[in-house]
Amino acid sequence: MRSVVESLKGLLPAILLGLVVALGVALYQARTQNNSIQLLTLPVEQRSMVAPVPGSYRDAVSSAAPAVVNIHTAIESLDSDHPLLSDPLMQQYLDTQIRQDRTIAPLGSGVIVSAQGHVLTNHHVIANAPNIIVELRDGRSAIARRVGSDPESDVAVLQIQMSGIPVIPIAQTPSQIGDSVLAIGNPFGVGQSVTKGILSATGRIAGLSTFEDFIQTDAAINPGNSGGALVNIYGELIGINSAIFSRGGGSQGIGFAIPTTLALDVMQQLIANGRVIRGFIGIEVEALTEQVREGLNIAGGMLITAVYRDSPADQAGLAPGDVLIKIDGAEVINGRAAMIKITDMQPGERTELGVLRGNAELSLPVEIGVRPNAG
């Protein structure tokens, strides 16, 4: 019995130490539980990240974004031993270290629209670039070939050679005012970004180029977004982002995109001909005042203010002061509609122009010519 007691006495310090440790752990756990932040999480069966939640556009972005590219140009820097740098006068103004390699300058965005590597962008994005580099979202890049550019529609086409090129799907049905849209591009050179808005209007004329039929959207289109994609909720291309209306340089909720139908038509002509071939008769017109129209008893009509020498109009007998009232039997309502009607005709095609000259109404046949390049 005495040996048992002696054994217990020997174990008593260890037992006491164990009790102290257990009590400390219990107190720590209680304190931790009292101070922990209680977070609410939904059960797994109530949520899933496999399928997009209602209101998410991740599928559209996943479909479209890989085909939206950044467009850069490479600018040669002055070498450190360049003669200009030894000029004391120049040294007063050069307070930065001159790099000997190339500087990559961001220009804007573009969209790959064909498996052959054709890239749609804006004319104004690449107009003054000495060379063009196209960078994909996956980090790959390639030097682009200029296929052609049309300043009158602000559309340009590039081409890159690369394997496994992502291609954006093209919308087959027109979007409607009020539809949700996404703008994808490279704003301010920060990298690819996505903004959301609605299709605010169609057929907008902003005075930015000669041939306009803009889609208007309130999706943020900032500098650098130009040439990027405007897509619907399925990730299908409906327009090429072109410009913003802004008083301060930032997005004001009024952005413009070139409709895909117009951009693709220009692209096809640039690929086939290297330029866009448009009809031309060689006149300048201006709108008539309501008072003049009432006096002539006509609903529309345009005053011909100039006729280009040796142009189709000149050869047909049109003269300044004539009032253009019909083209191919259809009444002329405004100058832009009349210009588009003529430019849509093929060179060599013949049409009839109805004009008022004094009190006489004349019908003058004219053969459509080729509209000169805008440069």
Q: What is the pLDDT of residues 238-271, one digit of tens each?
A: 999 987 665 555 555 688 999 999 999 999 999 9
Task: Cite the active site residues.
Answer: 124, 154, 226
pLDDT for the residue numbered 140: 94
Query: Phi/psi at 373 (nearest 5 deg)?
Result: -65, 145
Higher pLDDT, 22 or 333: 333
pLDDT at 119 over 60: yes
Taking the C-alpha atoms of residue 209 and residue 226, their distance in angstroms, rounded to an integer, is: 14
- Backbone Cα Rg of the chain: 34
Average pLDDT, the chain: 81
pLDDT band at 182 (very low <50, low <70, confident <90, very high): very high
Query: Phi/psi at 346 (nearest 5 deg)?
Result: -85, 140
% the chain with pLDDT above 90: 46
At CA 328, angle to CA 326 and CA 331, rounded to 5? 30
* Domain 180-273 -> CATH class: mainly beta
CATH topology of domain 58-159: Thrombin, subunit H (2.40.10)
| Residues 6 or more apart in contact with residue 151 via CB below 8 angstroms | 123, 124, 127, 209, 374, 375
pTM comes to 0.73
pLDDT for the residue numbered 356: 92
Region 106-119 average pLDDT: 93
pLDDT at 114 over 60: yes
Query: Phi/psi at 125 (nearest 5 deg)?
Result: -70, -40
Q: Which residue has the tokens 């208007």?
A: 216
Same fold: 58-159 with 180-273: yes
Report the range of poorest mean pLDDT among 8-12, 159-163, 273-277, 363-367: 8-12
pLDDT for the residue numbered 98: 39
Length of the chain (residues)? 375
140, two tokens: 């790959």
Please tell us whether the domain made up of 279-370 is placed in CATH 2.30.42.10.
yes
Report the range of poorest mean pLDDT among 15-19, 55-59, 221-225: 15-19
Most confident of 78-87, 117-126, 208-217: 117-126
Give residue limits of the domains in the chain.
58-159, 180-273, 279-370
